[in-house]
Structure 1
Amino acid sequence: MIEFQLQGEYIPLIQLLKATNLVSTGGEAQIVVSEGLVKYNGTVDYRKRLKVKQRDVIEFDGKKIIVI
């Protein structure tokens, strides 16, 4: 499990995946989101510009990110 300390009101999903080193580029992040490989609070989400806020849980590649 990865705990991510949010700086501000939200972080776009693509940036969160890069910031936690689960993907290496923004392009890779967009691909995994558009292919339905990312879950947002337990549900597959295809929105690339999704605003992730505190207490949200992102799942990708067998890992969980909890935003605190």
Structure 2
Amino acid sequence: MEEVSIEGEYITLGQFLKKMGIVQTGGEVKAYLEKGILVNNQLEMRRGKKLYAGDEIHIPGEKDYRILGKARE
């Protein structure tokens, strides 16, 4: 499982997919969500879903990810 640090309190699922290089544009996010992304073992179709520290994301055909809190300096 890959751990991903975020800058603020949360990151949206769409922003996460772009940050990880899984999609290139926001327009690709909606189509990509139809693949069946799981957030904390629940199917998630909303690109605006807020991801917080501790949340786990499973993307079929990709890696599993865990959100970490704000990166420490």
- Regarding TM over 0.5, the answer is yes
Aligned length: 67
Quick check: which has more Rg, 1 or 2?
A: 2
Q: Which sections of structure 1, spanning at least 5 residues, go unmatched?
A: none
1:30-41 matched pairs, under 5 angstroms? 30-33=30-33, 35-41=34-40
Normalising by structure 2, report the TM-score: 0.80
CA contact (8 A) 2:38 2:58 kept: yes
Q: Which sections of structure 2, spanning at least 5 residues, go unmatched?
A: 69-73
Report runs of 4+ in structure 1 exceeding 2 Å deviation. Answer: none
What is the RMSD of the two structures over their aligned residues, measured on CA atoms? 1.4
1:1-68 matched pairs, under 5 angstroms? 1-33=1-33, 35-62=34-61, 63-68=63-68
Normalising by structure 1, report the TM-score: 0.84
